[in-house]
Chain A
């Protein structure tokens, strides 16, 4: 079996067949993310003294996330974390019966993502998540404030969208190959195609690990904690909104 970014082998006919991604990359991703986030934390700590006052969480509250959307977010977060844990377990040598948990979490993720796509297209303000040319200038101009979502938030959302859709599609193709309560395994996909599916699933998993770690890090940053709070309670204060958002581009209703 060859190793590099891709694991491959020669089959019985001497043809090169892809097996999947090299799981050494998991450690590369883990270390790289750790270094980058640590560097960000240090830089932010150094700059902290020059920061302006933190906006108050007191006063009038505006609605940032509706209950149904918060529920979606946490179910999705739970399923992704379970997918990562159960997927990584056999790679790092943990001997647990991971496969059933993995596909069940995968199905949950698939259903909530379908729900979210439908809801975002017809019941939410889809335009607020679209990345436009103005968004790209935002990080370089402190005078430019975002609407409901900042450039970083939109970037994270679309990166997660691409990666999650990739793990779902490849995961479903792998799901067909195993026994489930819904069907018996067929084990009939050609090895070369299966290898490609495993490779894409592995690559998107690595990206998801990096994105999840980055997302959790920023959710726990002191200056972003009010966003995390809003994902639990639904609201941010008017002060937090005006300090971080352009109210002409986002005018939410008052929170209950």
Chain B
């Protein structure tokens, strides 16, 4: 049924665990009926529009073990319910992983960053307006992609990796974490699994109903960033219709190890062009061992968009993506 927005929240059983064991047990017991709640910035829209109707919500922000930023032997670990503002303003992250603090600082608006969490920003659902409106598209269990129909409005949709669904990843922190070779810590009753940031996100070819590998009963509890890219040269840029409180049309997160002007290694990742953050391996290979320069950026930019399949209204994303990659490389 198509959405009707309500001013009040529907009746939902609310659980507010304060320790890990209880939260994991609740997630395990409630399964698909237990909606995991971080800062609620993705959640509340769904609930008010009555397009998702979970029976229960498990609020995770009172679990202290999943909050905060700490230095570890191999880098840093960020609790999944740490707010985006804390990440954007944390001195340790700003000094060693400025890529992430910059990306976090570009998320939505100050108010949203104050309550929104890193975990929520990473596992948030796509913003495809047909899907969010409550239409029964492929991602909602139906048989059609409205955004990719002949009349579909799709200026914010995918250039790559569309498999029936053309929705994109809306996160700003996700490309930064992929670029930093981060690892996601996913917990469940009786255990934990570690997943690279790149493998954490899934496209529609593999699972059209979900955007991450999280299974029922699992909670993203922390993100670990290794020292591999600490203090590297970083670049993050996000282009959106508004400078504040908007999702990216395209964003780029890049990290470079440069010695004597030569790029020894790099990570370049674009967001909002595919259902998952898109790592540009071909560009990374092309610039490895090259002098970082305007000319190099000019020469390889087109590689970034190779294989793009624009939809009716998002052709502009191709030059936008190329230009962002160009700006990242020239520094």
Contact = CB atoms under 8 A, between A and B. Distances in A.
B134 to A, nearest CB: 9
B145 interface: yes
Contacts of A179: 162-163
B151 to A, nearest CB: 10
Given A178-B163, A179-B163, A97 B206 contact: yes
B205 to A, nearest CB: 4
Contact of B143 (A19, A90, A96, A97): A19
Contacts of A95: 202, 206-207, 210, 213
Contacts of B2: 12
Interface string A182-226: 001111100100110010000000000000000000000000000
B144 interface: yes
A10 B143 contact: no
A215 B136 CA distance: 37
A9 interface: yes
Interface in B190-230: 202, 205-208, 210, 213
B8 interface: no
B213 A9 contact: no
Contacts of B143: 19-20, 191, 194-195, 198
A96 B1 contact: no
For A184, A185, A186, A187, the residue with the greatest tally of chain B CB atoms inside 10 Å of its CB is: A187
A9 B2 CA distance: 10
Nearest to A8: B136
A100 B205 CA distance: 8
A187 B145 contact: yes
A191 B136 CA distance: 10
Interface residues of B, number: 23
A147 B123 CA distance: 63
A99 B205 CA distance: 7
- Which secondary structure dominates chain A's binding surface? loop
B311 to A, nearest CB: 10
B141 A19 contact: yes
A188 B150 contact: yes
A118 interface: no
A99 B142 CA distance: 16
A85 to B, nearest CB: 15
A12 B135 contact: yes
B89 to A, nearest CB: 36
B206 A10 contact: no
- Could you tell me the dominant secondary structure of chain B's interface residues? loop
Contacts of B202: 95
A220 B253 CA distance: 58
Contacts of B148: 185, 187
B136 A1 contact: yes
B164 interface: yes
B22 interface: no
B64 to A, nearest CB: 32
B149 interface: yes
A10 B149 CA distance: 19
Contacts of B205: 97, 99-100
Interface string B146-179: 0011100000000000111000000000000000
A1 B141 contact: yes
Contacts of B144: 187, 191, 194
A179 B203 CA distance: 15
Interface string A1-44: 10000000111100000011000000000000000000000000
Interface in A27-73: none
Nearest to A188: B150
A1 B2 CA distance: 11
A201 B200 CA distance: 32
Contacts of B145: 187
Nearest to B150: A188
Interface in B76-116: none
A19 B150 CA distance: 20
Q: Ordered nearest first, which 10 A-B pairs have the shortest CB separation?
A: A95-B207, A97-B205, A97-B206, A9-B136, A194-B143, A187-B148, A198-B143, A187-B149, A12-B2, A95-B206
12 contacts: A9-B142, A10-B1, A11-B136, A19-B136, A90-B208, A95-B206, A97-B206, A99-B205, A100-B205, A187-B149, A187-B150, A191-B144
Interface of A: 1, 9-12, 19-20, 90, 95-97, 99-100, 177-179, 184-188, 191, 194-195, 198
